[in-house]
């Protein structure tokens, strides 16, 4: 990777780090701010859902616009929109205004596809995975730094974290404006734009194609259910800790930092060491069981020590499942369809981030904060049962020659039975 490639790549990684630091800064605090404005658990779930829904709708649109007009202006405008949403969040005098602010925030946060496109523009095929790894590491670091910073700022003033996050977004916009070169030559050819601008239609089309491949279908379903469960836990945990331990925004911010730190350890090195001894699908399945155990244990955690253990199990499980499920999907996809398959999985994960918070908030409103955690654990167990029958049919690409020798046909044909 030469200097010309490295400069935009590292700057993009820095931009993503700053962006997700601002995002992570406010996430643990939002439920308490919504409560001050009169929201019940269902309202808090809706608050998270509307953000995810806006991001789901606008991410492919902004990606398409960046193809047409260039990466730099789309990323710049999205950061300015993000700053506006954070200012509106800070000055919200009603829950309706807060909902509007978060919907605008979802639009502003839809720049991740454009950021990944920058990486694709400036890296060769052989270096692209490494470049995407920089982006993933920046996202993870942002989720550690952001909540920690939020925990420090909240005692000073309840709206200060939102103002600081808005300032961070503006700082980010300045970095992009002054330092980020345009990495893509804009063009006006809108071929395929309709597909990019209609995520639901594209998702359904790709899902119908995947329906003929049971292994892929099960893995995508697992990704959906697992995301629903984890997103529900993230939404409801501040309310659970408030009721059980009397915690406020500061304590929850530090707990989210604890989660992020463990996830980074898992994805940053531990999983890479584990796959040297066990197959990715085995680690994924064990990760699902650990995640389920953590969620169910968390539902009954009434002591701080048990809470730390439960959250640790959840973080370890998530850190194991998240990278291995994508890797496993790449193993079972044809070489010319991996982008479609992984995009489909991400699309359903996006739906999971829409469904999970709304479901958890609804259940909490009808019962108590422990029940959504218990249901999330049961859902993860269900996902482990769904994928278990096909684990033995999944093989690494480097096993393909040996597998063909024993079966007389490549795995790509076997999986469609």
The CATH number of the domain holding residue 281 is 1.20.1250.20
Instruction: Determine, yes or no, domain membership for 143.
Output: yes
Tokens in use for 349?
């994960």
Query: Could you give the CA distance from residue 231 to residue 212 in angstroms, rounded to a whole number?
Result: 29
Q: What is the pLDDT of residue 194?
A: 46
* Last residue in a domain, options 151, 180, 209: 180
Say if residue 92 is in the same domain as residue 13. Answer: yes
Can you give the residue range of the structural domain that contains 171?
Answer: 1-180
Say if residue 245 is in the same domain as residue 388. Answer: yes
Say if residue 213 is in the same domain as residue 103. Answer: no
Instruction: Determine, yes or no, domain membership for 193.
Output: no
Query: Could you give the CA distance from residue 355 to residue 361 in angstroms, rounded to a whole number?
Result: 10
Q: How many domains does the chain have?
A: 2
Say if residue 273 is in the same domain as residue 304. Answer: yes
Return the number of other C-beta atoms located less than 10 Å from residue 38's C-beta.
Answer: 11
* Last residue in a domain, options 180, 211, 234: 180
Q: What is the pLDDT of residue 401?
A: 45
Say if residue 226 is in the same domain as residue 278. Answer: yes
Q: What is the pLDDT of residue 7?
A: 72
251 contact partners, CB below 8 Å, separation of at least 6: 151, 241, 245
Say if residue 17 is in the same domain as residue 142. Answer: yes
Instruction: Determine, yes or no, domain membership for 194.
Output: no
Instruction: Determine, yes or no, domain membership for 188.
Output: no
DSSP letter, residue 181: P
Say if residue 72 is in the same domain as residue 128. Answer: yes
* Last residue in a domain, options 146, 180, 214: 180
Query: Could you give the CA distance from residue 332 to residue 344 in angstroms, rounded to a whole number?
Result: 14
Residue 387 burial (C-beta neighbours within 10 Å; 0-12, 13-18, 19+) = buried
Say if residue 251 is in the same domain as residue 171. Answer: no
Query: Could you give the CA distance from residue 261 to residue 65 in angstroms, rounded to a whole number?
Result: 34
Give per-10-residue mean pLDDT for the chain (417 aa). 60 84 85 90 90 84 80 90 94 93 89 75 67 73 85 87 92 89 66 49 60 77 91 91 90 89 81 80 91 96 94 91 79 63 73 90 89 95 89 66 38 33
Q: What are the counts of helices (DSSP H) followed by strands (DSSP E) for the chain? A: 19, 0
Q: What is the pLDDT of residue 403?
A: 41
Query: Could you give the CA distance from residue 355 to residue 90 in angstroms, rounded to a whole number?
Result: 26
Q: What is the pLDDT of residue 250?
A: 87
Say if residue 119 is in the same domain as residue 28. Answer: yes
């Amino acid at each position: 990777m030469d200097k010309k490639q490295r400069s935009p790549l590292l700057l993009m990684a820095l931009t993503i780090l700053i962006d997700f630091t601002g995002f992570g800064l406010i996430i643990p605090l939002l439920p308490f701010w919504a409560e001050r404005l009169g929201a019940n658990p269902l309202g808090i779930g809706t608050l998270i859902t509307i953000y995810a829904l806006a991001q789901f709708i606008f991410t492919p649109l902004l990606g398409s616009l960046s193809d047409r007009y260039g990466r730099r202006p789309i990323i710049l405008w999205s950061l300015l929109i993000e700053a506006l949403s954070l200012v509106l969040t800070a000055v919200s005098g009603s829950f309706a205004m807060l909902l509007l602010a978060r919907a605008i925030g979802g639009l502003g946060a839809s720049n991740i596809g454009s950021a990944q496109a920058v990486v694709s523009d400036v890296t060769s095929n052989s270096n692209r995975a490494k470049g995407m790894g920089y982006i993933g590491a920046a996202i993870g670091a942002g989720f550690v730094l952001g909540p920690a910073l939020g925990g420090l700022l909240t005692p000073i003033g309840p709206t200060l974290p939102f103002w600081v996050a808005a300032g961070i977004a503006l700082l980010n916009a300045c970095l992009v404006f002054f330092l980020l070169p345009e990495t893509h030559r804009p063009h006006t050819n809108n071929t395929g734009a309709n597909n990019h601008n209609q995520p639901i239609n594209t998702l359904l089309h790709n899902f119908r194609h995947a329906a003929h491949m049971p292994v892929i279908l099960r893995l995508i379903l697992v990704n959906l259910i697992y995301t629903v469960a984890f997103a529900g836990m993230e939404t409801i945990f501040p309310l659970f800790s408030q009721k059980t331990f009397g915690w406020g925004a500061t304590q929850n911010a530090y707990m989210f930092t604890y989660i992020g730190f463990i996830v980074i350890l898992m994805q940053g090195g531990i999983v890479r060491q584990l796959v040297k001894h066990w197959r990715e699908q085995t680690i994924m399945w064990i990760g699902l069981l650990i995640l389920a155990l953590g969620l169910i244990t968390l539902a009954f955690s009434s002591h701080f020590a048990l809470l730390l253990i439960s959250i640790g199990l959840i973080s370890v499980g998530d850190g194991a499942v998240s990278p291995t499920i994508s890797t496993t999907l790449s193993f079972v996809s044809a070489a010319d369809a991996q982008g479609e398959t992984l995009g489909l999985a991400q699309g359903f994960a996006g739906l999971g981030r829409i469904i999970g918070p709304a479901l958890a908030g609804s259940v909490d409103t009808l019962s108590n904060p422990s029940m959504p955690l218990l249901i999330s654990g049961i859902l993860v167990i269900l996902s482990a049962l769904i994928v278990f029958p096909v684990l033995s049919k999944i093989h690494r690409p480097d096993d393909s020659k040996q597998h063909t020798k024993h079966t007389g046909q490549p795995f790509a044909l076997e999986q469609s039975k």
